[in-house]
Amino acid sequence: MNPVVASITYRAMLGRKRVWLLALLPVALLAIAVLLRLVGGGDESTAVTVLETFAIGAMLPLLGLIAGTGVIAPEIEDGTIIHLLSKPISRPVITTTKFAVAATLLVLFSAIPTFLAGYILIGTEAGVSASFALGALFGSIAYAGVFLLIGVVTRHAVTVGVIYALVWEGLIGRYVPGARKFSIQQWAQSIADQYSASPFVKSDVPLSFAVPAMIIVTVGAVLWAGQRLRSLSLTGDE
Amino acid sequence: MIQPIGVIHDIGYRHYDGPRLGRGYATTALALNSLRGVFGLGRAARAKIMPFLIAGTMLLPAVVSIAVMALLKERPLAYPGYAVTMQAVLAIFVAAQSPYLVAPDLRFRVLPLYLSRPITSLDYVAAKLVAMIAALYLLLALPLTLMYLGELLIDLDGPPHTGDYFAALGGGLVCAVTLAVIGVAIASFTPRRGLGVAAVIAFYMFTLAASAVFFGVLLSEGHETAAEWSILINPFFLVDAVQVNLFGTEAANGQGYPPGAGPAVITAGVIALALGALVLRYRKAAAA
């Protein structure tokens, strides 16, 4: 962990247009929660639908994508990463720091709003809000690691990430049960299922698979990103 | 005595007296070049991977459908619902390719170079939009046409679904225009390609999730009319609603849409809003 790298990354993430993209989705989630509460949809199944479809299903991968690739991909695209790489800081330290920045931002913008949205809808009933917040917390950390790795590996990081989140987790995961085993979204769902007493929360992946998988993927992605950054080529494309 | 220190040589610059092709030609050229660029033609090989992968994915269900028609003698896939079925793929195409159209020109500040030619900033916007609309329409119309030709050749029982086919082509045009305008408008607000891709896909996933949440919750509580309106948040269902009300095709959401001109008015409003944003954006960008 390098505090200077961390502060620069925080400034880059929060000081530009990117922060609007990060903030808009949680605000939309809270707005939907308030709206549904106002029209009287504040029951358990509604809360689970909202948290499952919107918070875990759409907001989590999107914010993971924006934060995870956003901490490193623009610097590589601009070529300004060379200033960072030419300093006597070990490359794995750079990626670990950037991962930590992305993870903290995601906790702030994804896990906390998830809890608040659940709380607005049904309070603390059946532990739905807390369990989904916990799922979002671990899910966002895993997404941060994976998308950071994609950001280092390819110039088309965002597109590749979108395809993973939308096609693999969304489209293929819906029709092919086996694909759900390898979906961060489903792992987050398993954690939410484990800690809530609500009968509406369902998950397809057992927790004994989800948690180790999540840890291995996150740690592996961050370590691999560090290794990749040691031999980054800065040739531009197009 | 002062020695001469500089000499002007006549190196033979000539004035151009030939025909000038003018504004329309320049705009057409820009649109054609952009259309080629959307599919990666004339760009590096790695730029071709994504668009052709997506085009292949769009054709896949059509090919499978023809195979099913030939072997089992039944139609697995209706024409009008094709865009809704393939919405994720179309959304990824719009998100991945619309920043390519506008972001590099903004980022490298070459807009003044375009505008020093006969084209105006409006022509520039129009050319980019036409390119995206044409690309999306190609992605939609190609598999539909392939399926229709397959149906004609296989000669199933009963008359061919010519009406459905042309309705889907008409709806596809509305779909292409709506998606292209929204995608290019969002992408034009950032000179960074990555952020542009993220912004467009964020818009799509937000509308997808919001419409699913409201549709599910309102339907389960018995507010059917409100549920039918709420699903229109997703642009693909909005366009499908226009198609259903215009051509009388079957609704792709399995529930139905609000009848009348409502969906069409919303679609026109969305297109007008995005167009307005684009024009304003380029008025500012051209001045910078």
Integer CA distances (angstroms), A111 to A12, A51, A115, A225, B94, in order: 21, 11, 6, 24, 29
Average pLDDT (A176-187) is 83
Contact B102, B185 (CB under 8 A): no
In this prediction, residue A216 carries a pLDDT of 92
Nearest CA to B186 out of B48, B53, B70, B94 is that of: B94
- Tell me the one-letter amino acid at B226: A
Integer CA distances (angstroms), B121 to A47, A61, B10, B127, B283, in order: 47, 36, 37, 10, 7
d(CA B107, CA B189): 11
- Residue A65, token pair as written in the block: 């994508």
Ramachandran sector of residue A202 (left: φ over 0; alpha: ψ -120 to 50; beta: rest)? beta
Average pLDDT (B203-217) is 88
Tokens 């990626």 -> residue: A95
d(CA B14, CA A53): 67
In chain A, where are the structural domains located? 3-230
Instruction: Please report residues of A whose CB lies closer than 8 A to that of B216.
Output: 49, 53
Tokens 């642009």 -> residue: B235
pLDDT over 50 (residue A238): no
Tokens 């110039």 -> residue: A155
In this prediction, residue B237 carries a pLDDT of 92
d(CA A202, CA A194): 9
Best residue of B57, B205, B211 to probe chain A, by most A CBs closer than 10 Å: B205
d(CA A236, CA A79): 8
Nearest CA to B56 out of B89, B85, B88, B87 is that of: B89
Report the complex ipTM: 0.86
Q: What is the CB-side half-sphere exposure of residue A229 using CA atoms within 13 A?
A: 29
Mind telling me how many Å the CA of B225 is from chain A's nearest CA?
14
- Residue B114, token pair as written in the block: 């375009």
d(CA A229, CA B256): 52
- For the stretch B141-179, pLDDT in tens is 999 999 999 888 887 777 888 888 899 999 999 999 999
Give the predicted TM-score (pTM) of the model. 0.88
In chain B, where are the structural domains located? 22-287
Please report, in angstroms and rounded to a whole number, the separation of the first and last CA atoms in chain B: 51
In this prediction, residue B287 carries a pLDDT of 66
Mean pLDDT of chain A: 84
pLDDT over 80 (residue A16): no
Using a CB–CB cut-off of 8 Å, the residues of A that contact B are 17-18, 21, 24-25, 28, 32, 36, 40-41, 45-46, 49-50, 53-54, 57-59, 61-62, 65-66, 69-70, 73-74, 77, 156-159, 162-163, 166-167, 170-171, 237-238
Spatial neighbors of A184 by CB under 8 A, at least 6 apart, are A61, A64, A139, A142, A143, A146, A169, A214, A217
